[in-house]
Every structure is written in C-alpha cells, then in structure tokens.
C-alpha cells in the first residue's frame, strides 16, 4: 500500500526531480532488497563515509559494528548522519557519452543515530540484521555470548527524513544523435548467488541449507 511522504527542504530532489519517489513503501522495498549501506558523518571536522550492513524494522534502521570503531564511537554521540543505499540494475549506454547513465534505485536517510542500550532490543536488532542479510541463518548459528555483545554496538537510525530516487528505462539521446552509428542500449546487472562452497572444517554429514542454496536478494 502506497504511503506518500512529504519531503523536507533537505530531501527534496532538485536535479532530475522527475526521478524522485516520496513514498515509504518504495523506500522500504529498496531498503529490504539491499543489505549494504554507506553511513556518512563528520568527526573532528573530517567527513567519513563507512560501508556497513544494516537491518530494518518498521521505521527504524539498525546498524552495528565494533564498539571500538571510529564510526560507532562517534555516532553514539547522536551526531548527524546520512545513510545511503543503492541498488544498481543496469548500465545505460547512449549514443553520446554525455547521455550515458545507469538504471538504479536509491534511498537517502538523514537523521541522528542513537545507541541501543536495552539488551533485549540490542539482541533483537542483531537478529533482524542477520535475518535481513540471509533469512534462516540466525536460528542455525550460535547466539552471541556476553563478551561478543559487549564488544558490539548497535545504533538505531529513525527513517523520518528521507527520499528515494529511481532511474529505469532505455537510453535518452539528443534527437540529432539517434543517427550516430554506434550501439545503444542497456546492460542489465544483478546480484546472483553461486553454488555454496563448503568450509574446509565442516562437520561430517553437514550440507548447505536451502536458504544458502536458493539465496536471492529479490524480495
């Protein structure tokens, strides 16, 4: 069900505004298909952009990492962050270099990250993150122990101020370039899982589970 959203001055697209999508349903679908985000923040006057995995529950995004990492040490102070997720679907080759593009879907979230202190929410956030990346794996794995939980920080980023952007379709050339003698079109791209590779120290009789053999990012 569509959930229209009114963008803020910071999230309203100006360039190529026709590609903007201000709808929570679309943003959530993109977030749920991806699993790698880039978190931007400023520490001591220096901008940083750190790639990390994430999980989503309702209108909250959860990210995690080592409690000693620069990102987690700074973000737990509730400094402003910018979180981006991009799904790349194809290379768009036009007749002119200027009109080359890509087919993609992206989400940008602006806000402040808050450290998750509640142990129940923290463990649930880690479960959500694991299940977001590969559903079914959490129940098959050893659960985090107290030492591992202390060494891990989890941050919550509310999905309140955001925008989505989508580009799809063929190349769009200037009219006079359609007669230029070169190939134009789209090179599709996708994440495709290969056959699972057994670990060298796998216990006898263990085989790859269904969720590993049939892994896909399409939700």
Longest dimension (CA), the chain: 67
At residue 118, the pLDDT reads: 92
Burial category of 113 from C-beta neighbours within 10 Å (exposed 0-12, middle 13-18, buried 19 and up): buried
- The CATH code belonging to domain 17-172 is 2.30.110.10
Per 3-state DSSP, the chain is made up of helix, strand and coil in percentages (nearest 5) of 25, 35, 40
Whether the CB-CB separation of 92 and 102 falls below 8 Å is answered with: yes
Pairing verdict, β 161-167 and 80-93 = unpaired
**Distance (Å, whole) CA 218 – CA 191:** 9
**Digit-coded pLDDT (tens) for 89-106:** 999 999 999 999 999 999
Which pLDDT tens digit goes with each residue over 164-180? 999 999 999 999 999 99
Per residue in 113-127, pLDDT tens? 888 989 999 999 999
Residue 3 has pLDDT above 90, yes or no: no
Residue 1 has pLDDT above 70, yes or no: no
């Amino acid at each position: 069900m569509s959930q229209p959203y009114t963008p803020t001055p910071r999230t309203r697209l100006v360039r190529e505004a026709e590609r903007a999508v201000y709808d929570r349903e679309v943003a959530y679908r993109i977030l749920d298909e991806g699993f790698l985000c880039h978190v931007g923040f400023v520490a001591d006057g220096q901008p940083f952009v750190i790639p990390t995995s994430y999980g989503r529950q309702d209108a909250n995004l959860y990210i995690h990492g080592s409690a000693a990492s620069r990102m987690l040490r700074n973000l737990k102070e509730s400094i402003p962050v910018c979180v981006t997720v991009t799904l790349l679907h194809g290379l768009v080759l036009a007749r002119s270099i200027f009109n080359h593009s890509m087919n993609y879907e992206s989400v940008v979230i602006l806000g402040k990250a808050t450290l998750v202190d509640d142990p129940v929410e923290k463990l649930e956030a880690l479960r959500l993150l694991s299940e977001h990346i590969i559903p079914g794996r959490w129940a098959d794995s050893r659960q985090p122990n107290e030492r591992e939980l202390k060494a891990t920080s989890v941050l919550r980023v509310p999905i309140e101020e955001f925008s989505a952007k989508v580009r799809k379709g063929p190349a769009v050339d200037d009219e006079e370039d359609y007669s230029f003698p070169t190939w134009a079109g789209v090179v599709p791209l996708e994440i495709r899982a290969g056959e699972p590779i057994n670990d060298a120290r796998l216990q006898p009789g263990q085989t790859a589970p269904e969720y590993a053999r049939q892994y896909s990012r399409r939700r």
